[in-house]
Amino acid sequence: MENKLIEIQVYGAERICTSCVNLPSSKDTYEWLEAALSRKFPGQPFSITYIDIYQQQENPKRQEMTERIIEEDLFYPLVLIGDEIVGEGNPRLKAIVKEMERYGYQALEA
């Protein structure tokens, strides 16, 4: 099955989410996810983007999501694949991998 190139979006902020005090920062989570997914899906291209929720976004969908995170007090970092939220606050690698497999990616078994 040919996989579709997906974009993983990690929404976050410099300051740590109030409910996520003892967790890694959004930027740290983004970097960890990028490394972990590259190891899990070697040779299978995907893009991963970090989006600061307090910065104005040129892309209307991204701007809408940043406003939603702030207005609805969603936990961040928030991980989005397509239009699906696959992680919030302390995203689980297993859930993200499962979503990527839905798009045809094949995880390397550990």
| pLDDT tens column, 43-100 | 999 999 999 999 999 999 999 999 999 999 888 999 999 889 999 988 999 999 999 9
In the chain, the amino acid numbered 65 is M
pTM of this prediction? 0.90
Give the start-to-end residue ranges of the domains of the chain: 7-102
CATH top-level class for 7-102?
A: alpha beta
38 contact partners, CB below 8 Å, separation of at least 6: none
- Look at residue 98 in the predicted model and tell me its pLDDT: 96
Cα dihedral 4→31→107→3 (10° resolution): 0
Q: Which residue is it, tokens 């740590």?
A: 16
- Look at residue 5 in the predicted model and tell me its pLDDT: 86
Question: Strands, DSSP E only, in the chain?
Answer: 7-12, 47-52, 78-81, 84-88
